[in-house]
Structure 1
């Protein structure tokens, strides 16, 4: 199990205060279970091959409370995707805050339309209330289109209900999330935290997918799914192993006939090496 990698180049700039810009061009993708660097670019759910992907966009911090992101990308012979998001935080007291997030994607077929005709709007909205060590989050997500909200790569989604196993991105899917986070630094154990999201999706209907596209016959009508995750995370606070983190995740996913039932445990160890 290795980190995902891509072949290409990426440029970034932070020369302007509160504004970060980036652009990239990629021609190959390397999955977690491979060591070569020349795998073709494939859409995750449709399995459609693409020659190259380009993107450009950035983040602008309007104020201490409000920031926005906007990106556009093009898979030359599959689709054009636009992305936008906004986050806003309202401090209530020194130890309480209310935050809001809105994310949206627009996907339309492009060039040779190798995945078929596409016209999908995918969006999510969330609100979170934080006080002391606790954080409660509610989120709503909708896939407005007859095909999957698809992407290239594995962990490429900024939608609120994309969690450990499922992205809740099936055709026409509606999903709702409830999540609880606990930071034990408040209780004298810095570096230790827990989180527990639960997401339920319904209204899934893939029967109207484009008949000559990549998503035809992948999903039936009136399909449903749900997922519950649990995670404990610890980050070492000092010493030679400072910032080394351990995450233990357990996920349960259940679905009707269009997806698999999964019981999964992951141990994730991360360490940031500072080179410069």
Structure 2
């Protein structure tokens, strides 16, 4: 483990021992949690397309995630420290089943027995403006946080968030490197176009700026964002969300539009992409019904930082429905069993279908996916903090590999402070 990061992890513990009386606000608002996450992931590729002929990715692993967040010291300028430490342990894997994203794959093809990392974030607050330097978990439309495997990814850099104007939150920052979800160290960022990593070139940093403005009693939000993966691509985003009560129903709309083009040295060549998505939902009691439409335009697939997800309406954990010229539809149904007196239990079923894909192979690409998700979180009692999630997905395509997927995720969170 990097010594500098280990020192960052121990910083708040040292402060706790020496400065509790001098800085009571620093500790008054502090929190600490430890989550144990047990993760089984399996993907069968029944119709392999491409150079990699591995027919299955299947692994089982145990993770531990420690989070400490301090409060701020008293005064006009408040200072604080956050720390994150993670540990991943291999429970089951083999060279012919790696590549799930749960564990690092070593040079000789086997998954590592364990991996870990730790980092600190130093923060400063003035009024309603906050500066953070160090380990960041950025969650923006142009760089969305993706905690979908055993351990969470992070970035290293600086960010500023300000909420000085009522209803308006603005952010800006620079990220110099990333720690991937299944890696122990830091590395430079690369791009993805659709589902394909562009490993031939990396970037020296990611810059972002933008904001979200909420109005209409916080029922409406407009967003405007800009992101730049240096010397690879630049991307803009405009979005609108609205919630409207109508009798016993609540109607929701989520609309977004992206534009992207090459940037600087153009290390992966020219980039030409525009993307539009719309999600319309109706909610009543425990029921939520959703339909979505998504269109990809331009000469290239949708770009993003590898291996992140995006807020595209029809992007799901198995297929992205964001390849060149793709048009896709979604129907989705969610049920929250709190309406039946079972709080913490939720279920989701959705179906997505895409076509008009420019495969570059002389034929139209088509694909579809069906997802089933069931999750339960214990709400009270001695097992409060225990969560269970089951996921089953079936994805079929005529231009990329078919996938049958299963995930079983057990988690337990201890509140330490």
What TM-score, normalized by structure 1, do the two folds share? 0.88
Matched residue, 2:287: 134
C-alpha contact (below 8 Å) 2:385/2:414 kept by paired residues: no
Quote the Cα distance in structure 1 between the aligned partners of 2:385 and 2:167: 26
Pick from 329, 350, 354: which aligns with 1:197? 350
Matched residue, 1:73: 227
After superposition, residues 3-22 of structure 1 pair within 5 angstroms as 3-22=152-171
Shift of 1:76: 1.8
Quote the Cα distance in structure 1 between the aligned partners of 2:231 and 2:202: 9
Q: Would you say 1:248 and 2:384 are equivalent positions?
A: no
Kindly tell me: are residues 268 and 79 of structure 1, through their superposed partners in 2, closer, same or farther at Cα, counting changes over 3 Å? same
Q: Would you say 1:41 and 2:183 are equivalent positions?
A: no
**SS of residue paired to 1:186:** helix
- Greater relative contact order, per chain length (Cα 8 Å cut-off, separation 6+): 2
Q: Which moved more, 1:79-88 or 1:4-13?
A: 4-13
What TM-score, normalized by structure 2, do the two folds share? 0.60
C-alpha contact (below 8 Å) 1:172/1:206 kept by paired residues: no
Shift of 1:246: 2.3
Kindly tell me: are residues 7 and 18 of structure 1, through their superposed partners in 2, closer, same or farther at Cα, counting changes over 3 Å? same
**SS of residue paired to 1:81:** strand
* Structure (1 or 2) with the greater helix fraction: 2
Pick from 243, 267, 270: which aligns with 1:89? 243
Shift of 1:32: 2.1
Kindly tell me: are residues 119 and 275 of structure 1, through their superposed partners in 2, closer, same or farther at Cα, counting changes over 3 Å? farther
Quote the Cα distance in structure 1 between the aligned partners of 2:414 and 2:315: 28
Shift of 1:159: 0.5
Backbone CA RMSD of aligned residues? 1.9
Matched residue, 2:70: none
Q: Would you say 1:224 and 2:366 are equivalent positions?
A: yes
Quote the Cα distance in structure 2 between the aligned partners of 1:69 and 1:267: 35
Quote the Cα distance in structure 1 between the aligned partners of 2:213 and 2:235: 20
Kindly tell me: are residues 271 and 156 of structure 1, through their superposed partners in 2, closer, same or farther at Cα, counting changes over 3 Å? farther
Pick from 142, 151, 174: which aligns with 1:25? 174
Q: Which moved more, 1:18-27 or 1:234-243?
A: 234-243
Quote the Cα distance in structure 2 between the aligned partners of 1:228 and 1:74: 33
Quote the Cα distance in structure 1 between the aligned partners of 2:169 and 2:378: 30
Matched residue, 1:123: 276
After superposition, residues 130-169 of structure 1 pair within 5 angstroms as 130-169=283-322
Gaps of at least 5 residues in structure 2 are: 1-101, 103-150
Shift of 1:265: 1.1
Quote the Cα distance in structure 2 between the aligned partners of 1:271 and 1:62: 37
